[in-house]
């Protein structure tokens, strides 16, 4: 089997960094795309392409993918992980904030996947993985825009899976609970968000980035070609489907 190549967005830290390192450990050549530099991620991966770009900028995304192809020659896996999740009441959410959340959480996966599609088709095999959220089921009242964007991402996943199946490309989503990352600590951790989520879970601990790795590797595995259009709820039992 040829060496696979994967692109992970939001790879500078947290869940994206965990995913990038895990894929490299499984033998993938990895590129990471983030708005900021990724020295910590790059230090953990021997052969790593670091792309500093805005996932909501079509030109920057396309140029970044061209760099990946120039370096590795092919592309097989896209992990749409970059996202934002402000913690604010619906009444306090401005139109600008709503649009930003939709652009990063929903439009960016569209832009990245569309730009990557010619390369996935050329490879004759592909995996698109979208990081959704179990919040679409628990529906926290202070994250209306976030929940709407992630529910849209699940719809995007389901329909795109049908569209890309003829090309040997699967499309699935992973829906974590609240994962302990630096961003989550900064945005919702100070308000008791982790404690609130833990109380709703059957598994009474805070989810860590490493808790999602086995699910990601399962979804992108060569043997998972019959799994597509699905949302895998990995949330410690906080929301049963």
Residue pair 25/128 in contact by the 8 Å Cβ criterion: no
Catalytic annotation, pick one of 28, 48, 146, 218:
146
Q: How far apart are CA 206 and CA 127, in angstroms?
A: 28
Rounded Cα distance, 110 and 90, in Å: 25
Summarize the chain as % helix, strand, coil (round to 5). Answer: 50, 15, 30
Residue 202: name the closest of 148, 239, 171, 158 by CA.
239
CA nearest neighbour of 16 among 82, 78, 101, 86: 82
E strands in the chain = 5-9, 29-34, 48-52, 77-80, 126-131, 169-176, 231-234
Sequence length of the chain is: 241
146 is catalytic: yes
| Catalytic residue set | 146
């Amino acid at each position: 089997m040829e060496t696979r190549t994967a692109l992970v967005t939001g790879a500078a830290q947290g869940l994206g960094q965990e995913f990038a390192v895990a894929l490299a450990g499984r033998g993938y050549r990895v590129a990471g795309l983030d708005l900021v530099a990724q020295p910590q991620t790059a230090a953990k991966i021997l052969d790593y392409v670091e792309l500093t770009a805005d996932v909501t900028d079509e030109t920057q995304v396309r140029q970044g993918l061209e760099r990946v192809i120039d370096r590795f020659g092919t592309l097989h896996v896209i992990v749409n992980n970059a996202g934002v999740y402000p913690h604010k009441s619906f009444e306090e959410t401005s139109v600008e904030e709503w649009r930003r959340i939709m652009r990063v959480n929903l439009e960016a996966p569209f832009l990245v996947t569309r730009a990557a599609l010619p390369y996935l088709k050329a490879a004759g095999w592909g995996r698109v993985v979208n990081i959704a959220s179990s919040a679409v089921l628990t529906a926290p009242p202070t994250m209306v825009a976030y929940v709407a964007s992630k529910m849209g991402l699940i719809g995007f996943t389901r329909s795109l899976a049908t569209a890309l199946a003829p090309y040997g490309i699967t499309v699935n989503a992973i829906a974590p609970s609240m994962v302990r990352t630096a961003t989550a600590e900064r945005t919702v951790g100070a308000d008791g968000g982790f404690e609130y989520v833990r109380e709703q879970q059957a598994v009474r601990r805070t989810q860590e980035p490493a808790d999602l790795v086995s699910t990601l590797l399962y979804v992108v595995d060569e043997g998972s070609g019959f799994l597509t259009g699905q949302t895998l709820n990995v949330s410690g039992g906080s929301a049963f489907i």
